[in-house]
Amino acid sequence: MDESLKLLIATAIFIYASWSFLKNIQRETPLLRTVAILVLGDIGRSPRMMYHAESFAKNKYETFLIGYRGSKPSPTLLSLPHIHFLYLSEPPKIVARLPFILAAPIKIIHQICTILAALMVRVPHPPEFIMVQNPPSIPTLALVWLVGRLKGSKVIIDWHNLGYSILALKLGPDHLFVRLAKKLEATFGR
């Protein structure tokens, strides 16, 4: 079995197990005029998402911008009082020295855990909206959908592209991963 398929299956099992465990948690009422914006990359290199964050903040939404540290965000964004940056941690440096077969699942699990921690714990109250850019769709769409269900938040997807179509350019349209990614986007992108 292809290693990437094993990772995809392990991720699906993890998300399903998390959902089974978390679905019985009492939902809180989302706090109106709040938004969590998830950037699965360097916040400072995500102009579209910074623009969305700026628009929400200027309209007096408490805006939690979640993503990786790196480039400095725009000065306007830094000056707005309703913006809160929640940085995701990188995997430990030792992971980069491991063989791919070990490093890849560790990175994926680390990413899933840090995203869930940010959306479920570090954002101080359930946001009215959770916004995410697509792609990447894996694992973000499923995680945002899950948290939206658990917290009662509405999900907004900025459809930049379809992730499966980009994957198809590399692997071909009939590849198993492309079909799975297409199904994932169709399921969690509604």
Is 26 a residue whose pLDDT tops 60? no
In a domain, 149, yes or no: yes
Burial of 139 (0-12, 13-18, 19+ CB in 10 A): buried
Residue with tokens 């408490």: 62
Q: Which of 91, 85, 52, 84 is nearest to 71 (CA)?
A: 85
Percent of the chain residues topping a pLDDT of 90: 52
In a domain, 105, yes or no: yes
Average pLDDT over residues 162-166: 69
In a domain, 186, yes or no: no
Is 132 a residue whose pLDDT tops 90? yes
CB 160 within 8 A of CB 48: yes
Of 112-116, 148-152, 183-187, give the lowest mean pLDDT range: 183-187
Whether omega for the bond prior to residue 135 falls within 30 degrees of 0, making it cis, is: yes
Of 20-24, 40-44, 155-159, give the lowest mean pLDDT range: 20-24
DSSP E strands, the chain: 31-42, 62-68, 83-88, 127-134, 154-159
Number of domains, the chain: 1
In a domain, 118, yes or no: yes
Over residues 60-69, the pLDDT tens digits come to 999 999 999 9
* CATH of residue 51: 3.40.50.2000
- Average pLDDT along the chain: 85
In a domain, 100, yes or no: yes
The Cα–Cα gap between 175 and 2 comes to: 12
Over residues 104-130, the pLDDT tens digits come to 889 889 999 999 999 999 999 999 999
Q: Residue 62: which domain range?
A: 31-163
